[in-house]
Structure 1
């Protein structure tokens, strides 16, 4: 469930008094992610800031994601005040604390909410429901966003299924860090340019017309952003070292 902790179906009777503090919205819930799921419609915006890769799911399918950290449980884009530092914020995060759950058998969609989110309360914030029990304008907008995101996720699944069918994805290890302190981030997949160039002439026109070829090259170009991510990692490490040194100096001063 990644960012979700205590998900329940949103109920206009049980949650009649529930409020959302939009002004207090923060990214604390995403602070321990080092990658974030992405839909294909987001590729152009995301590629200007992030590296787009593919993650392999337990069922063997693939999911696009942006890399936001080079260590486990560490997001380089969430600052010390739990705010997103810069750049495009993926829709997967913008839908929080809501989500759509789909029943696999019936296809029925249910709006759910993460009750663990600290921006929810019954005391202050914007009401999710009106006095008559109807959806508030804020909730209606959120539900519209959820519906659009769900549809884009379906289209994204079709794209990654095509990549899998053509066997274009290969596992890659991302190496970062300076000489003598190089580290690795594994478990990611990228499109193999070698395999792509070997595709038959009967396949390429279909990829071009469907928009898949453009998405593939957007993904490949985004790989250049690994240098930017590595620089963020170095900045973060230097900041942590400076903070530790200041803390140690303060402790020594107190002891003396």
Structure 2
């Protein structure tokens, strides 16, 4: 777990941001929160579910059972799309008020000499950091929209516990204990007024979650690959043709979160 530092023009005027290499930082993450604007891309690559976090119901992408099956031993991402919540690391934004956010950095990525400058001499974010900040702000806005949509589904009582059990490569089974899914029968049994209230983002999220159940097989594919890599004891021996199997992993800090 990283220690986070709020960046300040005064305190960090001359410090620098070290570059992240790969996704080893989230090797233990088994879920990733989702932004509403990336719903289509996430549902095309990952199973979707809901979790209660800090009193809020949050739509998440499932990444593994006890570890993140989408991260190779060398930190490479094993899918054609990386959830937006992971792409901005080691930076993140946190709310400081209704219209204010703070930019934070994982402490181990803050340096005195190595990496990119964070602030210009005038105290503004540099061209290297500003796009990441803008991406994070847009991403967080869209994530909150996803949370609101999920909450609407919860308020309509169409989310039910999902004791999902998956079989692992060694033949053992793993059961998730804190997931929720959309109850299709409950959704279709809603009265007209309640159903109409869910039109738009809530229904899009509900249908996407149901369709993305088909992506559960993707967890198995990655688990089998991880097992092979472990047997070979070669963390860098990721197949050269991996892009043709899983895609090259969208690592860009670009996404149209306004549409």
2:61 maps to what in 1?
66
Contact 1:70 / 1:233 at 8 angstroms: preserved in 2? no
**What are the superposed Cα offsets for residues 19-58 of structure 1, whole Å, 9 maximum, x if unpaired?**
2344x53212111101111122111001111011111124
CA-CA distance at 1:107 after TM superposition: 6.0
- 3-state SS in 1 of match to 2:61: strand
Closer, same or farther in 2 for the Cα pair 1:239/1:143, shift >3 Å?
closer
CA-CA distance at 1:93 after TM superposition: 0.8
2:101 maps to what in 1?
109
CA-CA distance at 1:242 after TM superposition: 4.6
Contact 1:41 / 1:152 at 8 angstroms: preserved in 2? yes
Give TM-score, length-normalised by structure 2: 0.82
1:254 maps to what in 2?
none
Which of structures 1 and 2 has the larger relative contact order (alpha carbons within 8 angstroms, sep 6+)? Answer: 2
Contact 1:47 / 1:219 at 8 angstroms: preserved in 2? yes
Greater percentage in helix: 1
List gaps (5 residues or longer) in structure 2: 235-259
The yes-or-no answer on 1:184 pairing with 2:184 is no
2:163 maps to what in 1?
173
**What are the superposed Cα offsets for residues 44-103 of structure 1, whole Å, 9 maximum, x if unpaired?**
0011110111111242x21011111122xx111111111222221111111211222224
Compare CA radii of gyration and give the structure with the larger one: 1
The yes-or-no answer on 1:126 pairing with 2:116 is yes
Give TM-score, length-normalised by structure 1: 0.82
1:194 maps to what in 2?
185
- 3-state SS in 2 of match to 1:173: coil
Contact 2:90 / 2:105 at 8 angstroms: preserved in 1? yes
Count of aligned pairs between the two proteins: 233
User: Aligned partners of 2:201 and 2:143: how far apart in 1?
Assistant: 16
List gaps (5 residues or longer) in structure 1: 245-256
2:78 maps to what in 1?
85
User: Aligned Cα RMSD in Å?
Assistant: 2.2
